[in-house]
Amino acid sequence: MKHWQSVICLLATLILAPVLSAQDTIPIKIPRLTIGGYGEATFRYNFYSDHIYRYSNAEKHRDDKGHGQVDLPHAVIMLGYDFGKGWTFGTEIEFEHGGTETAVELEADEAGEYEKEIERGGEVALEQFWIQKSFNRYANIRAGHIVVPVGATNNAHLPTQYFGVFRPEGENTIFPCTWHETGISFWGQSDHFRYELQLVPALNSALFSRNAWANGASASPYEFRPANRWALATRLDYSIPHWRLSLSAYAGNTFNNNIESARSETYADVNGTVLIGAFDFKCDYGPFLMRGNFDYGYLNEAGTISSFNRRLSNSTGSPYPHTEVGQSALAAGFEAGYDCFGNSSKPRLSKMKFITFARADYYDTYNPPATYNDYLWTERLCFSAGIDYAPIPQIVIKAEGGIRLFHHQYNNEPWFALGVTWAALFSRK
C-alpha cells in the first residue's frame, strides 16, 4: 500500500473510526468520501431546584420541588474526503440542544404586524473544518477549525466513549467542551506514541467566570474570533496493550484578547497568562474498563482581571459574565465499568454489551485570588452509577443516577437520567 493510502486510513481512524465501536476497531479500507455522525436524546429529573439563588439562599430553597427536562445535547454530522496525494478534508457540524428555531410571522390579530418568534433555544456550531496534508504517519499538517485535545473529554467526546448519560461533569465545567479553535496543527504517530502540537487563538479573559472558570472563554459573540493573543496546545498519547496514558497542556496570554481593550496604564503590563495541564488514562482488561483524568488550570493576575471584568460594559445584551475569576481551577474524575456479556460464550451475547458502571468527579471552578472572597458552592463532589446497554456497537442506551455533594451549608443535588445515544458511519461506499 502506498504511503498516502496508509495515512488516509490512519486519518479516518483518528477522526471517524472511534465512533464505530467501544473497541476502537480500525477499518481496513476507507472510501474517498466518509460520512458519519453521533447524537444523544436525554431525559433528566433533578430532585432539586434550579433557582438562581439556591446557593446564596440555600435554606430558603431546601424544600423546593424538582423538575424534569428532555434534551438533544448534541446532534452531529461529520464529513471527510480524500483528495489524493496526501490531501484530505474533514468537517463536523453540531446542533446543540436541538439547534435554534426562529421565524418571522405576520400576526393577523395584531393589526398585521410582523413578529419574530423564538420557538426553541439551542446552538449550531461548526466544530471542525480543516484541510490536511499528510507526508507520512509521523508528519501531518492540519489547518482550519480544529479540536483542541486538552483533557480527556475534548479528545474523546463521543457518547460511546464515556459511560454516563452526559459528558464527565468536572472537565465539562472548567474547560470549553468540545473545545474548537481556528488554527494549525502538527501531528503524527508511531507504534506506541501519538503527538500533536497546535497554534490557536488564546482564550479571552473577559469571558472567564466564577462558576465555570474557562468554560466559556473560547467563545465569541461576534462574527469573528478575536485573535490579538495566541496560544500553544499539545498532547502526547502512549499506548500499549490494555493501556493508554496521555498528557496534554495549554499555554497562552488571555488579557486584551477582545474587541474591548484596556488602554489605561494600570493594565499596561497585564498578560493574564493561562497554564493548563492534564493527565488522563484508559485501561481495559477483558470485561473490565477504567478511565480517569486530572486537570489543573492557573490564571496569572486573576485579581486584576477580576476587577477589570466587573467594570466591563453591562448594557443589555452584554456577553460578559461580570464575576470574579478564579486564580486556579481543577477537576479529577474516575469511572469503572464491567461488561456482563464480556465473557459470554454465546455468539449473540458476545456482540452486545451490558455494562454496569460507577463514576466519581471532584472539581472546583473558583480558587479565589488574594483579597477576594471564596464561594464554597463552587467546590463539588459528584457520584453516579448506572448501566449502558449496547445492542450493537453503534447504539448505547443509558440509565444513570447520581448526586452532587456540597459543603454542609448548601443543599445536595440528586438526579436521575436516561439517554439514547449513537455514533456511527452512515456510509462506507
CA 203, CA 217: separation in Å to the nearest integer? 5
Per-residue pLDDT band at 346 (split at 50, 70, 90): confident
Q: Is pLDDT of 12 > 50?
A: no
CA 313, CA 411: separation in Å to the nearest integer? 33
Which of 246-260, 310-324, 380-394 has the least mean pLDDT?
310-324
CA 363 distance to own-chain centroid: 15
The pLDDT score that the predictor gives to residue 157 is 93
CA 118, CA 104: separation in Å to the nearest integer? 9
Domain coordinates in residue numbering, the chain:
3-99+122-315+324-427
What cell does 390 get? Answer: 449496547
Mean pLDDT for the stretch of residues 337-352: 82
The chain-wide mean pLDDT, for the chain, equals 87
The pLDDT score that the predictor gives to residue 207 is 93
Mean pLDDT for the stretch of residues 394-413: 96
The pLDDT score that the predictor gives to residue 85 is 94
DSSP string, 288-351: EEEEEEEEEEEETTHHHHHHHHHTS--STT-----S---SEEEEEEEEEEEETTTT--SHHHHT
Per-residue pLDDT band at 26 (split at 50, 70, 90): very low
Q: Please write the tens of the pLDDT for every residue from 318-336.
A: 788 889 999 999 999 999 9
Q: Is pLDDT of 4 > 60?
A: no
User: CATH homologous superfamily for 3-99+122-315+324-427?
Assistant: Porin (2.40.160.10)
CA 225, CA 218: separation in Å to the nearest integer? 9
In this prediction, what percent of the chain has a pLDDT beyond 90? 68
What separation in angstroms does the CA of 115 have from each of 99, 109, 122, 209? 20, 12, 20, 34
Tell me which H or E stretch contains 22. Answer: none
359 in helix, strand or coil? strand
Nearest to 366 by CA among 400, 330, 321: 330
Mean pLDDT for the stretch of residues 345-356: 83
The pLDDT score that the predictor gives to residue 114 is 53
Per-residue pLDDT band at 317 (split at 50, 70, 90): low
Greater confidence (17 vs 350) lies with: 350
Backbone phi, psi, residue 122, to 5°: 145, 180
CA 288, CA 412: separation in Å to the nearest integer? 31
- Let me know: does 378 contact 367? Beta carbons within 8 Å: no
Nearest to 145 by CA among 156, 158, 132: 132
Which of 28-32, 104-108, 153-157, 179-183 has the least mean pLDDT?
104-108
The pLDDT score that the predictor gives to residue 371 is 87
Q: Is pLDDT of 182 > 90?
A: yes
Q: Is pLDDT of 174 > 80?
A: yes
What cell does 10 get? Answer: 490512519
CA 422, CA 392: separation in Å to the nearest integer? 10
Greater confidence (342 vs 207) lies with: 207
- Let me know: does 201 contact 225? Beta carbons within 8 Å: yes
CA 127, CA 407: separation in Å to the nearest integer? 37
Rounded to two decimals, the pTM is 0.86
The pLDDT score that the predictor gives to residue 407 is 95
Q: Please write the tens of the pLDDT for every residue from 251-297.
A: 999 999 988 777 777 888 899 999 999 999 999 999 999 999 999 99
Per-residue pLDDT band at 185 (split at 50, 70, 90): very high
CA 414, CA 406: separation in Å to the nearest integer? 11
